[in-house]
Structure formats: C-alpha cells, structure tokens
Amino acid sequence: MELFDKIKTLTELQATSGFEAPVREYLKQRMIELGYTPEFDGLGGIFVTKESKKENAPRIMVAAHMDEVGFMVSEIKSDGTLRVVSLGGWNPLVVSAQRFTLFTRQGKKIPVVTGGLPPHLLRGTGATPSIPAISDIIFDAGFDNATELAEYGVAQGDIIIPETETILSANGKNVISKAWDNRYGCLMILELLEFLENKELPITLIIGANVQEEVGLRGAKVATTKFNPDLFFAVDCSPAGDTFGDSNGRLGLGTTLRFFDPGHIMLPGMKNFLLDTAEDANIKTQVYIAKGGTDAGAAHLANAGVPSTTIGVVARYIHSHQTIFSLDDFNQAQNFLRAIIKSLDAEKVAQVKNY
C-alpha cells in the first residue's frame, strides 16, 4: 500500500478520547498480520513487545496515541438540536458550519452539522457577531424534536467526531485531512514494526499506542507504569505556526526536536543523543519550543522517572477538520526513529540517561 493510501485509511477512521476502538482494532489487525502479539493496558492502550535475546536488555517504549479531538453530547434541546462538551482542545472559530458523525450507543452513525448564524439574521438587530463558547454551539442532525432524536437512539453521552475526506494537495507534497494529530504516530509505529520484522536488537522494544492523550495524557501514565521502560519516545504531531507569522514549526523542514514544552524539558543526555543521531543519519530537523504537551510529559514522571522525548512533525491547522502536513516530514521522522532504534544498546541508553 502506498504511503498516501495508508494515511487516508488511518485519518478517515473516527475515534476520539475514550472511544478509540476503531483505531485500536485497525492497529491490532496490522500487528497480527506483521506477526506480533498485541496486549492491552486497563484503559485500552495497545502494545507489542519485541524481546531482545540479550540478558538484562534495556527496555525502550515507543508510543503514539489513538485519539483525535471530538465532542460528547451533554444536552438535548426540545427542538431536536444538541449541545456538547469538548473532548480535547478546540478553537470555537473552527467548529461552526462543519460536518460530523454522531455515534449512538447502539452503533448507529448519524450525520450532524454545526449551525452557523446566517448574516441575514443579524441585519437590523444591532448585534455584532461574537465568538461562541463551545457549550453554546448548535449541533443539528435535522430532527424535528427531542422525541424523534430519542427514537433514533440519540442520548446524552453519545460521541460526535469530525467527518472529512483525506486528499492530496495539487503539488503532491502535502496531505489535507483531519486527525493527523495523532494518526501520524499510529502510522509511525506500524511502519516501524514492519521495518523491524526479523531483526534482532540489543534492546527490548515496547511499541504501540495510548488512549486519552487529548484529555490529559492519561493513557501514557497507565502504559508507562505497566511496561516500565528505561526510555520513552512519544511519536506525536504538533501545530505549525508558519502561516501565522510564527517561525516555530514550519512545514517541510523535517522532524521536530522538542526541547521544551510546558510539561517537559528534554534532559541533556537525550538532547545530545538526538542531535548526534540526526547528524549521523543526515536527518532534516527543526527545533521546536512547544506551547502544548505530549505523552512524554506524563511518561517522564512515571515510576522513578523515565527519560523521555517526542519524535514529531508539525501540521498546519491541527484540531480542526482540515489539517495540512508534509509527506517528506513524515519520511524524515520515520528515518529518524529507525536510526534511533538501530543505534540504541545498553551503553548508549546509559549515556542517554546521564543527566
């Protein structure tokens, strides 16, 4: 399968925080096809372990997260419209006038749109359009009233997820889709597992994907405790600032070196290791000083402390229906991750852990 086809398959899956089953099932089937045996943590994270034949081999964890941002139905109005709470971070400006799918407890898929206020209804009122709170945005499935909604099985607690088609940009360099945060990571781990088939390593690898990252890095806390790694590598996507006049995070400049975010500071040993590995493998990298976090922020505080980092890419307009990201950035990140895994052994891990 070509890279774009793999991206299209994963990004068009709909799975939000706490409801990651469609992505987990896809990962499970691919892991089994590749000859691995997946196991699960208590919240639904999925991982495979590739054991080293070396005695007392260091344990290295590489983890994506499966969830994309979405919504949960919080209120059903008498007119048949819905109100929601957000699952993950949303800018209210990107929510209105978009298509979504609502998933009922019975498994029904119901098309939903968010209502945008027409300019006609503002004329003569003297009112000025304002940014709505997420809780005030109208979600409309086209039903007559609350009774009809109930007849179709819609209830509080149902999940609403963006509905979009993944397409290639006209120049063939970029992809436009939803959910590259973090189906990027999910594809990264599958590509890594395929690359590692029949390869013997001096390290034990735990490779997989966490749940509920978008609502507080929850799955990483559970998985890191369960698998007890010596080092943790999150694979995650971050916002590009280039089209907003921010040089922090530019499309096409390669994989990110996330030296800082509000919940994590890269340790000196890890920083030196990444810089040296990138140089040796001729990887395009860009420094990234982040305003948000990744699962590395939770993992590095687990157990007795786990040196962690993020192998990332940037994408424009994340946490919306339409994200733009670079195919070359993905390839740079994949080559970087492979170089990292190939270079690690007990001695190198000890150096990385040197703070």
Which residues are marked as active site? Answer: 213
CA distances from 46 to 68, 193, 334 (A): 16, 13, 20
Angstrom distances, CA of residue 330 to CA of 7, 159, 176, 184, 264: 10, 30, 14, 8, 23
DSSP for 118-186 reads PGGGGTTT-----PPPGGG--EE-S-SSHHHHHHTT--TT-EEEE----EE-TTSSEEEES-HHHHHHH
Cα–Cα distance for residue pair 233/235, rounded to 1 Å: 6
| Residue 214 annotated as binding site | yes
Taking the C-alpha atoms of 182, 185, 187 and 190 in order, what is their torsion angle to the nearest 10 degrees?
Answer: -140
Q: Taking a C-beta distance cutoff of 8 angstroms, is the pair 233, 311 a contact?
A: yes
Per the listing, tokens 């925080």 go with: 17
Q: What is the DSSP letter of 42?
A: T
Residue 117 is encoded by which pair of tokens?
């206020």
Residue 79 CA to residue 272 CA, distance in Å, equals 60
Rounded Cα distance, 337 and 270, in Å = 14
Is 230 flagged in the annotation as binding? no
321 is in an annotated binding site: no
Q: What is the DSSP letter of 316?
A: B
Residue ranges of the annotated binding site for Zn(2+) are: 65, 181, 214, 236, 319
Residue ranges of the annotated binding site are: 65, 181, 214, 236, 319
